[in-house]
Amino acid sequence: MRNFLRWVLAIPFWFVIVSILWVLLLGAIDPPVTWVMVDQAAVQGGVKREQRGMEHIARSLPLAIIASEDQRFMRHRGFEWNAIERAMKNNKKGKRVKGASTISQQTAKNVFLWPGRNWLRKGLEVWFTVLIETFWTKERILEVYLNVAEMGKGVFGAEAAAQHCFDRPASKLTVAQAALITATLPSPRRFNCARPSGYIKGRQQWTMRQMRNIGDVLDPEVRERQRIAREKKEARSRKRKK
């Protein structure tokens, strides 16, 4: 019984240690492959992917992804609780299931987890999201996301998507092209940025409007000005309530 208890206690201990070391390792080196890449390589007969650092990706693409997928990315700690609450309410009402995954959550599940939907996987997604938010910078999370995200059938990462859609490197993407790639992300195997439908073009225009609204949130000075503006707005709101 004593040996059994020792093993029971050892399993979670070593899981924590190994997962932290894994996250630290991938904070320093690029993930070589993901479960989704392996799965799609079997389905598509191969995948397209070329690793690129942030300095070799046009600034317009991460800004487009933040504007479209997770506008509070630079401010939250991995989770958008208001979005999660709205998603839970929609699901309880029997409406079409809606997710509330942040860029951090998507990065965690893409890099560390297998495809699928179950409570074990969701719990691990939360755990790895906490770890990458703790040990990685926001810029590192975004860089990894831009290199592992599925952006077309058998197409992974910014460089492969730029070459596939526009026959140009990711460093040369325009704002409109970045927004078009981003418009396909909710369903990259269904939509094609090389042959966009009217729906995707509409999403592209919406993304570009959002980019203009939120500004260059990767710039610390812009974020600081936005923080000051938010605090002033909240102060005025509290004053009115009094």
Give 198-237 pLDDT, tens digit per residue.
999 999 999 999 999 999 999 999 999 999 999 998 888 8
Nearest to 131 by CA among 77, 83, 80, 82: 77
3 state SS of 201: helix
Work out how many domains the chain is built from and give that number: 1
Provide the mean pLDDT of the chain: 91
- The whole-number average pLDDT for the span 188-195 is 94
6, part of any domain: no
Res. 97: pLDDT tops 70: no
- The whole-number average pLDDT for the span 94-105 is 72
Question: What share of the chain in percent tops pLDDT 70?
Answer: 91
198, part of any domain: yes
**Parent domain of 136:** 32-241
Q: For residue 60, give the CATH number of its domain.
A: 1.10.3810.10
Res. 95: pLDDT tops 60: no
1, part of any domain: no
- How does pLDDT run across 107-130, given as a tens digit for each residue? 999 999 998 889 999 999 999 999
pLDDT at 117 (0 to 100): 85
190, part of any domain: yes
| Banded pLDDT at 84 (limits 50, 70, 90) | low
65, part of any domain: yes
Burial class for 116, CB neighbours closer than 10 Å (0-12, 13-18, 19+): exposed
Distance, in Å, from the CA atom of 59 to the CA atom of 206, rounded to the nearest integer, reads 18
